[in-house]
Structure 1
Amino acid sequence: MPDPLHPDPVHSDPVDEELTVKLANLNDPAIMDEVVELNVALQTEGWERHQMSQTPDHVARLRNMLPTLLRRNPMIWVFVARKQQQPVGVLISDKRLSTYRLAYTLHLEDLWVHPEHRRQGIGEALVQTAIRYATNNEMARVTLTTQLSNLGARRLYDKLGFAKAMPLITCDEGYDPADVTIWIQLDL
């Protein structure tokens, strides 16, 4: 069985001549800076969507703490999509142990594509790359959560073969109670 802490590399073939998706080397300061800034953009968009005010303190804490948190946990894989060498999307995932399956699963935690680059296959390329990594490392499944109202994301996950597993109750402050979070999985 492959070592889940040290994934077998999957050499990212360009999705097209301009787009590549690769597992990020979190020990490279320049790449970590890109990952942090992509995550700041993801968080900012989420706060705006839920009409919550994001404080400069939150952004500063995110920039200061995220590199440490990501590097501290070797079970985290971060994938970065680049178009013409510029970072345009990120997928942050973590490996989890399923005691029921006696195998590792890959949970997709955050998926974000820059608004100017959406609907160009970048999100799909990020998820497909994560699925290939999970498959190459003999993981049992890929899981994620999304909001029931996020129709674009749900169409993507349906297209890739994910199945709705169960609804979850979201108790986060500022979320619409009618916007149920659902658990989705893809058995490998």
Structure 2
Amino acid sequence: MHNQQFLIRDANVSDISTIMELLKLKAKFDGCPDFLKATPQKLEETLFSEKPLAFVLLAELDKNPIGFASYHQIYSTFLAQPGIWLDDLYIKAEYRRLGVGEALIKRLCQITQKIGGGRIDWTVAVNNTLAIQFYEKMGAQIIQRVRLCRLDREAISQRTSA
């Protein structure tokens, strides 16, 4: 299988069912399938509208989807530069360790350079040792001194009502 070439390409609107399938696998892998609220219609509206909110890279082998990365542009006031937020990176288990993740990261680096970006940021589960080792191998710094903060829909609603 190492001899086969995989392809990294930008997803398009005809890939929505593929993206949904990969998102379901990612949510299951993360242990939170109930958290997945995306629908094909929501994906079409947010990813493939005139002003997309995010983008998806698909990894394919012989035209079969084997992984993806989703990302959007961010901005750092400290750098006064744009950057990329890597939202999800997932490769099907049987295709890991073939360089697919590395190819997706490389493409994200190229996209970041193209927009004049200063960095790529993302989160990784603290117990995902293999992913942490992979990201460190890619040159990522795992920053322990900050924590992810989130206001969910309910908290936002509470802060804006009455």
Alignment gaps of 5+ in structure 1: 1-14, 173-188
Q: Secondary structure at the match of 1:162?
A: coil
Paired letter, 1:41: L
Count residues in correspondence. Answer: 148
Q: How does the TM-score come out when normalised to structure 2? A: 0.77
Match of 1:129 in 2: 107
Write the distance in 1 (CA, Å) between the matches of 2:150 and 2:3.
Answer: 40
For residues 171 and 78 of structure 1, do their structure 2 counterparts lie closer, same or farther at Cα, with a shift above 3 Å needed?
A: closer
Match of 1:54 in 2: 34
Paired letter, 2:79: R
For residues 147-188 of structure 1, give each alpha carbon's deviation from its aligned partner in whole angstroms, at most 9, with x where no partner exists: 22111111111111111233415789xxxxxxxxxxxxxxxx
Q: CA RMSD in A?
A: 2.6
Match of 1:19 in 2: 6
Write the distance in 1 (CA, Å) between the matches of 2:121 and 2:34.
Answer: 28
Matches within 5 A, 1:61-72: 62-72=39-49
Q: How does the TM-score come out when normalised to structure 1? A: 0.68
Greater helix proportion:
2
Paired letter, 1:158: E
Q: Is residue 41 from structure 1 mapped to residue 25 from structure 2 by the alignment?
A: yes
Find runs of 4+ consecutive structure 1 residues off by over 3 angstroms: 169-172
For residues 71 and 18 of structure 1, do their structure 2 counterparts lie closer, same or farther at Cα, with a shift above 3 Å needed?
A: same
Identity %: 21
